[in-house]
Amino acid sequence: MAKEKNIGITVKKSENFSEWFTQIVGPEGAELADVRYGVQGFIVHMPWGFKILRKIYTYLEEEFEKDDHEPFLFPTVIKKENLEREADHAGFAPDVFWVTKAGTKEMDEPVALRPTGETQIYPMYSLWLRTYTQLPYKRYQSRITTFRNEKTTRPFLRGREFMFMESHNMYANHEDVMKQIETDKIIMEKVIGEKLKIPHIFFKRPKWDAFLGADATYVADTLMPDGRRNQMSSTHDLGTNFSKAYNIQFIDKDEQKKYAYQSCFGPGIWRIMAALIGIHGDDQGLVLPFDVSPYQIVIVPIIFKDEEKNKKVMKKCNELKEKLSKKYSVFLDKSNNTSGWKFNQWEMKGVPIRIEVGPKDVEQFQVALKRRTSLEKIFVPDEKLMKTIEEESLNLGKDIDERAKKYFSDNTKEANTLDELKSLLEKHKGFVKVPFCSVERDGEEAAEILKTETQGAYVCGTPMDVNLKEQAEGKKCIITGKPAKHIVYVAKSW
């Protein structure tokens, strides 16, 4: 009989992360995405991957709406004229895909596939905003894809089409912008930190690395197992740059017309997925936190040749499925595959809890249970099952959390000279904290030298609300030798 598919990862994560990642993502791994679509950088999201991504979207949407953001949806294309109206932002143009033909005819005016939302949304904000009573004005669009003509592409890390969501807010003053950025940080902590258990730092990026047209950019960076930073979200303090370019004004309390202050926040759904796969996964496959897994529990019947016994096994499995489904998302694997193949498959897919039921378990009023992060199977009496699942789901969370936090702190080091930095980056990769002269424009040249000297490491910035200035006191910039104003984080980047 033809098999539905072969599964298995043939390399170790610690030895070849890049190949491990490719295999786990693909159709013979956890079936998250298929890159064989035939257009570079445009991939197919397969059901298991799509359902995880949908959960990430749902959790973030819930937080956005609790914070009074209303959902809307803009077109996939943008007018050329609007795309280029903000001078700095026009820098996106070289990366944009253009729709130039309709049927066999050239279009009068080509339109761009959306590379990001500002330039499509703000012309409408100019029509919609009238008075201060509408402020703060919070809107977001979700479950959209955006497009950039990237040279190299990788599922979930860099695509020509990738999953996105973005809020675009307006305020009467700059204090409200800063309050929102604090809230965006908390949203990342709640969803990405607590639910998905992905450790990260909320940085203020150096001035030279801010978003095109923004006054300042804040990001949530995590580390991939190859030691490169993965930027999972960005929040931009746009000041009044865009409201001036797009003429977004409101009548204030004092009857004066004023330009709106703006911020926008974009969790990179793909990037979050890449972190989830890369950081928690192991050599058997994905490892999914309990709240993120499409199935939380999978039931595998252990079938032998005895028809009578098999009936009893299936009866118990069906009853279990019904009972557990009231509280959990449960899958009963009735397929014709062997038990061993099923075990491998569901471990590959990262399902948190596996329950096995064989003829012996029926006789002894028990089940066998294995949590994804444990090496051991345990036998659980039927009457204790609900309680054990509860406990094991918490144990799983603890395992994942501890492992991820240890990994994150093990890969964050310190250096006080360029030589130390270079040797650290060579050995362990990851974040290195170093004294640095400046994160304003006057530090850009030093950052360029750092990048060249380290073969591509970036100054990631300073953590938003941890004051590292005191730690920098008395230290010297590892590049210029000038007194260091900050301790910055340095890492290579995705």
Among 19, 22, 67, 79, binds a second copy (CB under 8 A): 79
Residues 6+ apart with CB under 8 A from 14: 225
Residues 6+ apart with CB under 8 A from 172: 132, 135, 136, 250, 252, 258, 260, 261
Helices 269-280, 385-410: inter-axial angle, 10-degree rounding: 100
In angstroms, the Cα distances linking 16 to 32, 202, 226, 400, 429 are: 19, 28, 9, 21, 14
Check binding of 39 to a second copy (CB under 8 A).
yes
Q: Show contacts with a second copy in window 11-30 (CB under 8 A).
A: 27
Are 146 and 115 within 8 A, CB to CB? yes
Return the bridge partners of 370, or none.
354, 377
Check binding of 50 to a second copy (CB under 8 A).
yes
Beta carbon nearer to a second copy, 52 or 432: 52
Quote the tokens at residue 59. 């959790």
* Distance separating alpha carbons of residues 235 and 189, to the nearest angstrom: 14
Check binding of 131 to a second copy (CB under 8 A).
yes
Check binding of 66 to a second copy (CB under 8 A).
no
* Distance separating alpha carbons of residues 367 and 378, to the nearest angstrom: 8
Question: Shortest approach of a second copy to residue 4 CB, angstroms?
Answer: 6
Residue type at position 221: D
DSSP string for residues in 154-206: BTTTB-SEEEEEEEEEEESSHHHHHHHHHHHHHHHIIIIIIIT----EEEEPP
Size of the site for a second copy (CB under 8 A): 64
Check binding of 124 to a second copy (CB under 8 A).
yes
Beta carbon nearer to a second copy, 114 or 413: 114
Question: Shortest approach of a second copy to residue 71 CB, angstroms?
Answer: 5
Among 158, 145, 160, 77, residue whose Cα is nearest residue 114: 77
Question: Position of tokens 């070849």?
Answer: 16
Question: Shortest approach of a second copy to residue 237 CB, angstroms?
Answer: 24
Beta carbon nearer to a second copy, 75 or 381: 75
Q: Show contacts with a second copy in window 353-372 (CB under 8 A).
A: none
Question: Shortest approach of a second copy to residue 307 CB, angstroms?
Answer: 21
Per DSSP bridges, beta strands 297-301 and 330-332 are parallel
Check binding of 58 to a second copy (CB under 8 A).
no
Return the bridge partners of 33, or none.
45
Among 19, 84, 98, 212, binds a second copy (CB under 8 A): 98
Check binding of 76 to a second copy (CB under 8 A).
yes
Among 74, 331, 341, 407, binds a second copy (CB under 8 A): 74
How many CA atoms lie within 13 Å of 309's alpha carbon, on the beta-carbon side?
13
Among 8, 75, 481, 483, binds a second copy (CB under 8 A): 75
Among 7, 24, 111, 192, binds a second copy (CB under 8 A): 111
Q: Show contacts with a second copy in window 135-194 (CB under 8 A).
A: 139, 143, 145, 147, 149, 161
Task: Write the interaction track for a second copy spanning residues 259-298; mark x where CB under 8 A is met and - where it is not.
Answer: ----------------------------------------
Check binding of 409 to a second copy (CB under 8 A).
no
* Distance separating alpha carbons of residues 432 and 445, to the nearest angstrom: 19
Check binding of 91 to a second copy (CB under 8 A).
no
**Which parts of this chain interact with a second copy (CB under 8 A)?**
1-5, 27, 34, 36-39, 42-47, 50-51, 54, 70-77, 79, 82, 93-104, 110-111, 113, 120, 123-124, 127-128, 130-131, 133-134, 139, 143, 145, 147, 149, 161, 250-251, 335-336
